Each structure stands twice: as structure tokens, then as C-alpha cells.
Amino acid sequence: MSGEADLAKPAALMAEPARAAMLVALLDGSERPASELAQVAGVSASTASEHLNRLTSGGLVNVRRAGRHRYFRLRNADVAGAVEALAAIAPRLRVDSLRAARTGRAIAYARTCYDHLAGQLGVAITDALVSRGVIGPLRPGEVGRIVTPDSPLLRTLDFDIESSRRRPDVRGCLDWTHRRPHVAGRLGAGVLTYLEEQRWIVRSRSDRSLRVEDAGRDGIAQLFGVDVTALDPAA
């Protein structure tokens, strides 16, 4: 018989600033080399290696070896959700430059959260899915439900609810910048994939923020009924 969850172990892994910075950098679902994560965390290569070994052995990160190089990514969506949820109760880092302020606004507006959309745009699209009766109201960390499986919107997204159930179709993920749930699970991943395939949104090269293209403003308005221009990143 198993007892209560041992929260202390993953919490201890996340508690070190360099390791926390690495986990946040991997929240976009990317796979990154150890050298890049060392730069993100502001530590030496040898120190980064020690931290990454701990994150890997602790089950938070997976590693892929390619010759002499190692590439790291978050283990799964559950780890990403845990990091995102912890960010919701964490104090904010001090912004001491115009560049940091711009990055903060961009991330609050639209960003990736592992394999799905987050930020105010993600929350707004989630609200649209609920208000249109496509999915039921979401609660952070809980599996949601699809209310209208034959919705035209789902057909446009080419979303098949009869596919593999190894992960939930819908899950609520707490958005740390807006403290409300955005849609995760297979549907959340499907929304992000569709928006990228249409080139309505484009990923930043320097962080996990997303830029909405001009075509995306019209497309998102037509598909979801969301007025992108009216969204306020500071809301």
C-alpha cells in the first residue's frame, strides 16, 4: 500500500535557483543541450551537468544522448503542469531592464506551456471553448470533458476524440500569469498545433513567448470569436 505523496523530493529539486531556471527554460516543450541550459542558469558546464543529473535521476527531466552531446527535455506534461502551478504561487522576479519588462509582457500575453497555449491568449481561447459549449468549465489540475463532440470547431481542428486515451482529451492547467485555467491535454496541444500550422502564431527565438501574426488576428477571431487586439497583457 502506498502512502501520501512525498512532495519534499520534487520540491527540493526545484528549490535550487539554477535548476529552477533550467526547468522554466524547458517549459516550452523543447529539447535543449546542456551547454544552453548552463547559459540560461548562469552556471559553469560542470555545475550544470551536476544539476541536470539530479533532475534526470529525480524523474523531472529526460535525456537523449547523441555522440558526446546530451539533450534534455521535461519528462512529461505532468512535470510542466507542476512547474506552471508552482509559478502561480511564487513571488515575481524583479524587472530591472526594459528588455526584461518587454519579455514579461510578451510571456503574459501568449506563450507555450509545454505542448499547449498559455498566457492571456490561451485563457481567452479556453473561455471561448467553454462559452461555445465545446468543453465544460475547467478546474486546474483536473481532467475536463468535451461537451459537444460533433462541434464544427473540433472538426476544423481535426480533433479526433476516439484516438488514444493515454492522456486526457481535456485538462485544466493553472495559468501562472493570470491565475485561471487554460486548456491542456490533447485538445490543448491540438489548438497550439493548428495555430502554428496556419502560421497564425510564431514562436520567439529567445524565450517561450508567441507572436500573433496579422493573419492570426483575423483567423482567431473567426474560429474562436476572440478579439486578439482587445486583449491586455497586463490583465
Kindly state whether residue 80 falls inside one of the protein's structural domains: no
Residues 6+ apart with CB under 8 A from 220: 121, 125, 195, 200, 212, 226, 228
Give the structural domain span for 29.
8-75
CB-hemisphere CA count at 13 Å for 147? 10
Tell whether the model's pLDDT for residue 161 goes beyond 90. Answer: no
Task: Tell me the three cell numbers of residue 101.
Answer: 519588462
Q: Are residues 52 and 115 in the same domain?
A: no
Kindly state whether residue 158 falls inside one of the protein's structural domains: yes
* Final residue in a domain of this structure, among 75, 107, 125: 75
Q: Are residues 135 and 212 in the same domain?
A: yes
Q: Give residue 4's pLDDT.
A: 77
Q: Are residues 132 and 201 in the same domain?
A: yes
Tell whether the model's pLDDT for residue 185 goes beyond 60. Answer: yes
Q: Are residues 125 and 205 in the same domain?
A: yes
- What count of residues does the chain have? 235
* Between 208 and 136, the higher pLDDT residue: 136
- As a whole number, the mean pLDDT across the chain is 89
3-state secondary structure 63-86: EEEECCEEEEEECCHHHHHHHHHH
pLDDT tens-place string over residues 32-72: 999 999 998 999 999 999 999 999 999 999 999 988 889 99
Q: What's the rounded mean pLDDT across residues 190-198?
A: 96
Report the SS3 class of residue 135.
strand
Kindly state whether residue 43 falls inside one of the protein's structural domains: yes
Q: Are residues 106 and 217 in the same domain?
A: yes
The total number of structural domains that make up the chain:
2
DSSP string, 16-43: SHHHHHHHHHGGGS--EEHHHHHHHHT-
Model pTM?
0.80
Q: Are residues 129 and 54 in the same domain?
A: no
The proportion of the chain whose per-residue pLDDT surpasses 90, expressed as a percent, equals 62
